[in-house]
Amino acid sequence: MFNAIAVTGNRVSFRNLHATLTTLPDSSVALTFDEKKHGTIIKSRREIEFEFGKTLYLIPKGKVAAPKALDLSITDLEELKRRSAYLEELQRHTEKNGVGGVKIRRQIIARVAREINDTRPISPATLGRWAKQAHEHSHGIASTLGTKKRCRKSSFSQDIQDLALEVIDDYYLQLGNPTLQYAYDCFTEEFEAKFGKKVKRPCRELFRKWATQACDPIEFIERREGRRAGKAARRNAKKKFRTERILERVEADAVNLAIGVTDEEGRYLGPVTLFAVIDVYSRSILGLIAQVGRGESSGSVIDSYKHAIGPKSPDLLPNSVQNDWPMYGTPETFVSDGGSGYVSVQTQSFLLDAGSQSQIVQTYAGWRKPFIERFFLTLRTRFAQTLRGYCGKHTDRPNLDATIKEKASMTLQEFRNALYEWVIDEYHQTAHRGLNGKTPYEVWEERAREFPPQLPANFERIRFTMGETRMCKISGDHAHQGIQLNKLRYNDNEDRLKHIGMTLRRMGRPAEVQVEYTHNDVHSVNVVDPITDEVFQAFVSDLDIKPGTTLAELKAQRGSTYANKGFTGRRKSRSSLTVTNANEAHDANMRRVGSRQTQRAPTNAIYAELVRPIEEEDTLPRPTVRRSSMRTETLELSSEEYGADGEYEDD
């Protein structure tokens, strides 16, 4: 038995790990595991023999049968005896695991059929197929008994089946989930147009069977429901995520909640988008930010990361909460999808600065970050649905009696208070099945004593980081007006902006600086000094804007000067008698000036000035012409040169 195991190339299972055996020259055996993280193990032959049957098992090279006895009838046993006679005779005349040539198989079939009185001898091809299958399967020749059930040949011609498949492909396997009845009606029309009404037509049930067998099940879903549905159907739950401690892996994502919020004066702000960060080990919520409006901005993503890393001061929590929120610290790995706010340069730079790794998983693949997706489901069912202003998913909204704006009945601060109360006093204090009946709060407290959470070394700097960036001009003749962003003026208390603007202008460069900001708090911005690369804060000049004011609240308070333009009042100057008289006098003056500019030029005087020099020249005596002593000849041509008819002779 041992000699059959210690053969180079044999596949074994050693302590539930698959490996390949290699015999070494010194009579020892090397086990090379399939998983690269496990190194090669070298054992002696005696150790291999001792472990066999206990922790080491031989893996068959062929197909492994199900671990159950074969259910064979008396007829199957007789057929098994018949087939074994052919295979045993073939093995005696061929090499190990060989099938032999056609000539040898014919001789063996003739000999065995004569010995066992087989009235139905098999063909050489069948004998070769039986031999190959018996060598590869652990059940041997018995594996050849399980023949496939033959289907009855269709009574319809191939042309009819091809037409049905074409109609199925054009009208049934399309996006939008068209009904089978619609596809069958189209098939009926084309069938009658091509074959006539007298030819027998396949029934609807047969057409349905052809439709279900037209393509692979995954392809069937993908063609009718889209690539995202096909990708979801391909996934397979093979193993669970496993972590050893808190903050080892955290997942982050955003969810759009159909809940409208207003400001303190009742003005509608918009729907809410939540940005959440969850710890996988304890299922605790590390960070939670509520943004007004749709979209995943870098500013809100970084705000949720800062909320997850930093401690939650009790002063910033609602007074109605009964428990604390001790979850904080620098995670080892942030896991998120490919959303624009999560993969932006600002977000990735923030994680690198905080000392955390970033893992971007496939977009629209929720199973790759299942814990945050499961939390959002709990959030919808246990918190959002308790609010009467919640409008549900987009598939439920056509059945609503009012829109999100009409159902909005909470201010943004009231929504935040209700959300924090639910997370702190209910979610963190509820027993979790994935935590063996413990609550997220209990698991965090236990592991935090063993692995205390740590803050980044530069926490005081990164807690002021903002996700949105823009270049802004320093205004004023002497750079004294600061910068303008979102129609707000910002300046610092130490006159650094003024000094930077004047220095840049003296150097001949434009007085511009890079500004970091977030829509979740317009009270302050960060300014990057282009000379020293230092970052400092600039505050809004309007004292009416309090810390924590969002851009949506600011727009609702002040409105837009260009929105809903209409009749603004009567124009008094149009009906004023004084203005009317002044305008008429102006028009008369302009007519008089215009007539002077367009009068006819004095052509007679101009003509007299032109003729006068000519007349003066005619009154002067003519000059005397002196005769020249040189002989001159006339230029007229003689008849000999020009011809009698007045034409050149050469013409």
Burial of 465 (C-beta count, 10 Å sphere; 0-12/13-18/19+) = buried
**Residue 415's pLDDT band (cuts 50, 70, 90):** very high
Q: Kindly state the average pLDDT of the residues 12-36.
A: 80
Considering only CA atoms, which of 330, 236, 246, 329 is closest in space to residue 282?
A: 246
Q: Kindly state the average pLDDT of the residues 182-195.
A: 91
Strands 333-336 and 357-360: parallel
Say what the pLDDT of residue 327 is: 93
- DSSP letter string over 419-448? HHHHIIIIITTS--GGGTT--HHHHHHHHH
CB-side exposure of 578: number of CA atoms within 13 Å? 2
Q: What is the 3-state secondary structure (H, E, C) of 137-194?
A: ECCHHHHHHCCCCCCCCCCCCHHHHHHHHHHHHHHHCCCCCCCHHHHHHHHHHHHHHH
Could you identify the residue written with the tokens 């060989």? Answer: 98
Higher pLDDT, 330 or 461: 330
Virtual CA dihedral for 56, 57, 58, 60, nearest 10 degrees?
Answer: -150
Higher pLDDT, 367 or 420: 420
In angstroms, rounded to a whole number, what is the distance separating the alpha carbons of residues 493 and 499?
12
Say what the pLDDT of residue 378 is: 92
Helix, strand, or coil here: 276?
strand
Helix, strand, or coil here: 279?
strand
Say what the pLDDT of residue 59 is: 76
- H or E stretch at 412: helix 412-422
Residue 243 has pLDDT above 60, yes or no: yes
Of 170-174, 446-450, 483-487, 571-575, the range with the lowest mean pLDDT is 571-575
Higher pLDDT, 327 or 36: 327
Tell me the per-residue pLDDT of 592-625, one tens digit each, with 9 for 90 and over: 877 665 566 667 777 777 777 776 666 656 655 4
Which residues, 6 or more positions from 80, have their beta carbon under 8 angstroms from its beta carbon?
72, 141, 142, 145
Tell me the per-residue pLDDT of 370-393, one tens digit each, with 9 for 90 and over: 899 999 999 999 999 888 888 877
**Residue 70's pLDDT band (cuts 50, 70, 90):** low
Higher pLDDT, 629 or 258: 258
Q: Provide the phi-psi class of 64: left if phi over 0, else alpha when psi is between -120 and 50, else beta.
A: beta
In angstroms, rounded to a whole number, what is the distance separating the alpha carbons of residues 617 and 606?
19
Say what the pLDDT of residue 81 is: 85
| Percent of the residues in the chain that have a pLDDT greater than 90, as a whole number | 22
Higher pLDDT, 188 or 63: 188
| Contact predicate 260/415, CB 8 Å | no
Virtual CA dihedral for 222, 223, 226, 227, nearest 10 degrees?
Answer: 50
Higher pLDDT, 246 or 627: 246
Which residues, 6 or more positions from 272, have their beta carbon under 8 angstroms from its beta carbon?
256, 257, 259, 260, 261, 290, 291, 292, 412, 415
Higher pLDDT, 379 or 295: 379
Q: Kindly state the average pLDDT of the residues 207-228.
A: 86
**Residue 632's pLDDT band (cuts 50, 70, 90):** very low
Say what the pLDDT of residue 175 is: 87
What letter would DSSP give residue 398? G
Say what the pLDDT of residue 401 is: 58
- H or E stretch at 639: helix 639-642
Tell me the per-residue pLDDT of 138-169, one tens digit each, with 9 for 90 and over: 667 777 776 545 556 678 888 888 888 888 98
Higher pLDDT, 366 or 106: 106
Of 398-407, 443-452, 537-546, the range with the lowest mean pLDDT is 398-407
In our burial notation (b when 16+ CB lie closer than 10 A, e otherwise), range 193-232 reads eeeeeeeebbeeeebbebbeebbeeeebbbbbeeeebbbb
Helix, strand, or coil here: 261?
strand
Q: What is the crossing angle of helices 124-136 and 74-93, to 10°?
A: 100
- For 561, phi then psi, to 5°, come to -75, -10
Q: Residue 106's CB: how many other CB atoms inside 10 A?
A: 15
Residue 643 has pLDDT above 50, yes or no: no
- H or E stretch at 250: strand 250-262
Say what the pLDDT of residue 287 is: 93
Say what the pLDDT of residue 433 is: 87
Strands 357-360 and 483-485: unpaired
**Residue 49 has which token pair?**
């023999």
Mean pLDDT for all residues in the chain: 82
Say what the pLDDT of residue 633 is: 47
**Residue 466's pLDDT band (cuts 50, 70, 90):** confident
Considering only CA atoms, which of 68, 73, 100, 103 is closest in space to residue 87?
A: 100
Residue 335 has pLDDT above 90, yes or no: yes
Of 135-144, 343-352, 503-512, the range with the lowest mean pLDDT is 135-144
Helix, strand, or coil here: 87?
helix
**Residue 548 has which token pair?**
């924590």
The identity of residue 434, as a single letter, is G
Say what the pLDDT of residue 601 is: 64
Looking at mean pLDDT, say which of 137-146, 402-411, 512-521, 593-602 comes out highest.
512-521
Say what the pLDDT of residue 217 is: 84
Residue 55 has pLDDT above 90, yes or no: no
Q: How far apart are the first and last CA of the chain?
A: 127
Rg (CA), the chain: 47
In angstroms, rounded to a whole number, what is the distance separating the alpha carbons of residues 467 and 342?
10
Residue 105 has pLDDT above 80, yes or no: yes
Of 135-149, 162-176, 278-292, 494-508, the range with the lowest mean pLDDT is 135-149
Q: How far is CA 583 from the centre of its chain?
A: 65
- H or E stretch at 405: helix 404-407
| Contact predicate 11/18, CB 8 Å | yes
